[in-house]
Amino acid sequence: MFPLRDTIPGMFPPVMLWALVACNILLFMLESALPRDTLAAVFQVIGLVPARIMDGEPLAILGLVSSQFLHGSLLHVVGNLWTLWIFGDNVEDRMGPGRFLCFYLLCGIMAGLTQVLLYPGSTVPTVGASGAIAGVLGAYLVLFPHARVITLIPVFFYPLLVDLPAVSFLLFWFLMQFLSGTIALVGPQQLGGVAWWAHVGGFMAGIVLHRLFLNPRRIRAIPPDALGFDGLWHSGR
């Protein structure tokens, strides 16, 4: 399943979302200009390496943040930023730019710590914004339970467009991360090189922590007729 757009209109310009997307694109362009060996060394130094964190290396701890802005391939960065683009603007609507950035980075840190706890001896660097973005998805799940997601589902060679409840889409996504992570734990190595448990940790962090970052002034600016029964803003569908 590939999300194309959601049904929640934005109320404020998502300036921090734009900044995060631009920053990730710029850094990926810089990565792409590096020789492969140099890039691998960069990932070892400022990527998330659980074994180095467990050894207490100060620079390795910074990798909990810096790794969120590194990506291993064009498909990796495009997939992450597309998902952030679809769901992040609405979450930023509720928080404002500064709070959204803090929330985003904190979810990424919690995602990284989840990976460290489950793979403490790993020397393989973990990179990517997906843990932080998973936190955004967790917040979206709670904030917009009535939203819908226009989703592309390939059926053989036929692209099928389906209007799915956001709750169903996000819970299915989470279930896939959890099941894949569970399989990876009993396997000889991390399944497919994907940090599944970082996604799980980031998603749960978003669900738990998002209310600490909501901006009351943003909430008050929402038209009363756009609020749902739970006091949150929904699309009129």
**Domain of 10: which CATH number?**
1.20.1540.10
81 occurs within a structural domain: yes
Most confident range, picked from 5-14, 15-24, 154-163, 225-234: 15-24
Kindly write down the DSSP assignment for every residue of the chain, as one continuous string: -EEEEESPPPSS--HHHHHHHHHHHHHHHHHHTS-HHHHHHHHHHHSB-HHHHHTT-HHHHHHHHHGGG--SSHHHHHHHHHHHHHHHHHHHHHH-HHHHHHHHHHHHHHHHHHHHHHSTT--S-B--SHHHHHHHHHHHHHH-TT-EEEEEEEETTEEEEEEEEHHHHHHHHHHHHHHHHHHHHHSSS-GGG--HHHHHHHHHHHHHHGGGG--HHHHHTS-GGGB-TTSSB----
Residue 16 lies in a domain: yes
pLDDT tens figures, 95-108: 999 999 999 999 99
Q: Could you tell me if residue 234 is inside a domain?
A: no
Model confidence at 3: pLDDT above 70: yes
- Quote the distance between the C-alpha of residue 131 and its chain's center: 5
Question: What is the domain range of residue 80?
Answer: 2-226
Burial degree of 219 (CB within 10 A; 0-12, 13-18, 19+)? middle
- Confidence at 236, pLDDT banded by 50, 70, 90: very low
In this structure, is residue 237 part of a structural domain?
Answer: no
236 is a domain residue: no
User: pLDDT tier at 189 (50, 70, 90 boundaries)?
Assistant: low
Q: Count the domains in the chain.
A: 1
- Please report the pLDDT score of residue 188 as a whole number: 57
In a domain, 182, yes or no: yes
Residue 103 near residue 20, CB atoms below 8 Å: no
Query: What is the structure's pLDDT at 160?
Result: 81
In the predicted model, is pLDDT for residue 154 greater than 90?
no
For residue 1, what pLDDT is reported?
78
Residue 163 lies in a domain: yes
| 232 assigned to some structural domain | no
**Once rounded to an integer, what is the mean pLDDT over residues 180-198?**
75
- Rounded Cα distance between 143 and 166, Å, is 11
Give the pLDDT confidence score for residue 187 in this predicted structure: 66
pTM of the predicted model as reported, rounded to 2 decimal places:
0.89
pLDDT in tens, 42-96: 999 999 999 999 998 888 899 999 999 999 899 999 999 999 999 999 999 999 9
**pLDDT the model gives residue 10:** 83
Chain mean pLDDT for the chain: 87
Measured between its terminal Cα atoms, the distance across the chain in Å is 22
What percent of the chain shows pLDDT beyond 90? 66
Q: How large a percentage of the chain has pLDDT more than 70?
A: 90
> What is the band of 233 on the pLDDT scale with cuts at 50, 70, 90?
very low
